[in-house]
Amino acid sequence: MPLSPSVYELSGVLYNQGGKEGGKRILWPKKAKNSLTPKPGMWHLIEITGASGSEDDENISLSHSHCFRAGTDARTNNVILKDPGAEEQHFVIQFYAKGGYEDIEVTQTLGEFTVAGVREGVAPVQRAVPYLVDLDTQTGTLLNHKLIQGATPIELRDRDVITIGAPKADEDRFMGDGVKRERERVKAEAESAREYILMKNPEINY
């Protein structure tokens, strides 16, 4: 679900207002409007290498900040991408405050007896909800294998899958068998692309 336009400004404006990190201009501000840091251990990003996973899979905690930038540049990102199609600043997972309700424990005294119970969904609470933003990249960002619109925050759910768009074949540089080899190279890179699975700890409430 996209956020209202008041929460997000176009990336051209963000480029001018985002500030610098590591001596380099960033495309996303350190403090976005209505941002909220999630509880420790609540959200994780599981990096899966290759189609079936491997021992190199990585568990990335998303709990020490409200904003996680992902890209190839180690100076400006929290999450370092190694995908062939990834750009220096590729996408952002931004946590925003979203209103909701949670259960509360209640007790009631009936004569000599005290009865304990739970009232469901009655206590108002601000939840830290993750959103995905593609930073107007050339190759794009895919959510559950569908390309998302750039510069538009999309609400994420538990077990959503994020992937990086594959680089396009540069066939104009080749002739004859070279074109075939270039297509095979791009196909191989796409098949070995990493997946990033968002996981919420079910034992931790918002």
pLDDT tens-digit profile of 100-144? 666 666 666 666 665 565 555 555 678 899 999 999 899 999 999
Q: What is the pLDDT of residue 178?
A: 66
* pTM of the model as a whole: 0.74
103 contacts 206 by C-beta, under 8 angstroms? no
Structure tokens at 1: 């679900």
Higher pLDDT residue, 16 or 158? 158
> 202: number of CA atoms within 13 Å, CB side?
1
pLDDT tens-digit profile of 143-182? 999 999 988 899 999 999 999 987 765 555 655 666 667 6
Higher pLDDT residue, 186 or 167? 167
Q: What is the CATH number of domain 11-97+127-200?
A: 2.60.200.20
- The domain ranges of the chain are 11-97+127-200
85 contacts 54 by C-beta, under 8 angstroms? no
